[in-house]
């Protein structure tokens, strides 16, 4: 698929996205404009459904919205607040460790470059890119399971892992779509372009999609 067709798909989906739920991390970023709160919400969202992340993020950020407050809250209380997010015990430990590093190494401020973010415990490329794009409004491409799946399903890339998809998109996708693609595809993926049996009959870009590896649809 060429860039012109893919951008056309993104433009259509962006117009339609007002009908779908906004990803929780995006809401946190819009509300707080705080890179630390974006980082916390993104960590909680890993391998967790958005509706669970929404509740856990609100509880934790209301109780502790800064690195200092996270440390003061303590591991046990963090676990109580974020349960039942996936791997909540490990995430509670990581949040405290990250908070200590941010205070001791970065003077209380979340680092604003990819390499430093990737050095933090439990932070992978998805989280680092989301903090860069939503927390600091810097260029990056956040590739989660939705972006990876849909970019391949549509026929724009041919990759095996989210990391491969990120670098394929960096090489091919026009820069003005680097930041918006995550919000668009996460909302689209949750509403219609599901992993199993997607709603192709309701899809606004059905005629443009190559439907790679779609064996069953609704």
Q: What is the CATH number of the domain that holds 155?
A: 1.10.1670.10
Q: Which residues of the chain have pLDDT under 70?
A: none
Query: What was the pLDDT predicted at 25?
Result: 85
Asked if residue 82 belongs to a domain, the reply is yes
Asked if residue 8 belongs to a domain, the reply is yes
Q: Which two tokens stand for residue 54?
A: 């929404």
Quote the pTM value: 0.88
Query: What was the pLDDT predicted at 81?
Result: 97
CA dist 185 and 188 (Å) reads 5
Query: What was the pLDDT predicted at 24?
Result: 78
Asked if residue 210 belongs to a domain, the reply is no
Q: b vs e for 88-109, b when ≥16 Cβ sit within 10 Å of the residue's Cβ?
A: beebbbbbbebbebbbeeeeee
Asked if residue 69 belongs to a domain, the reply is yes
48 and 78 co-located in one domain: yes
165 and 188 co-located in one domain: yes
30 and 124 co-located in one domain: yes
Asked if residue 59 belongs to a domain, the reply is yes
Query: What was the pLDDT predicted at 217?
Result: 94
Query: What was the pLDDT predicted at 150?
Result: 98
Structure letter (DSSP) for residue 111: -
Q: b vs e for 53-71, b when ≥16 Cβ sit within 10 Å of the residue's Cβ?
A: bbebbebbbeebebbeebb
Domain coverage including residue 115: 24-136
111 and 11 co-located in one domain: no
Query: What was the pLDDT predicted at 65?
Result: 94
CATH for 46: 1.10.340.30
Helix pair 35-45, 24-32: axis angle to 10 deg: 170
Q: b vs e for 110-142, b when ≥16 Cβ sit within 10 Å of the residue's Cβ?
A: bbeeeebbeebeebebbbbbbbbbbbbeeebbb
- Residue range 101-113, pLDDT digits in tens: 999 999 999 999 9
């Amino acid at each position: 698929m060429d860039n012109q067709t893919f951008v056309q798909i993104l433009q259509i989906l962006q117009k339609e996205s007002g009908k779908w739920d906004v990803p929780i991390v995006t809401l946190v970023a819009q509300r707080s404009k705080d890179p630390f709160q974006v980082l916390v919400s993104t960590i909680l969202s890993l391998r967790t459904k958005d509706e669970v992340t929404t509740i856990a993020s609100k509880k934790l950020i209301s109780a502790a919205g800064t690195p200092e407050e996270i440390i003061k809250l303590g591991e046990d209380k963090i676990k109580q607040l974020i349960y039942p997010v996936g791997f909540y015990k490990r995430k509670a430990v990581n949040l405290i460790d990250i908070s200590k590093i941010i205070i001791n190494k970065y003077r209380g401020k979340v680092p604003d470059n990819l390499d430093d973010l990737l050095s933090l415990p439990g932070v992978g490329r998805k989280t680092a890119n989301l903090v860069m794009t939503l927390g600091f409004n810097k260029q990056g491409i956040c590739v989660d399971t939705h972006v990876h799946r849909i970019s391949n399903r549509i026929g724009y890339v041919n990759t095996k892992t989210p990391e491969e998809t990120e670098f394929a998109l960096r090489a091919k996708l026009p820069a003005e779509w680097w930041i918006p693609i995550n919000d668009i595809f996460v909302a689209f993926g949750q509403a219609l372009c599901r992993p199993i049996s997607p709603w192709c009959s309701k899809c606004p870009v059905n005629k443009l999609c190559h439907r790679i590896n779609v064996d069953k649809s609704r």
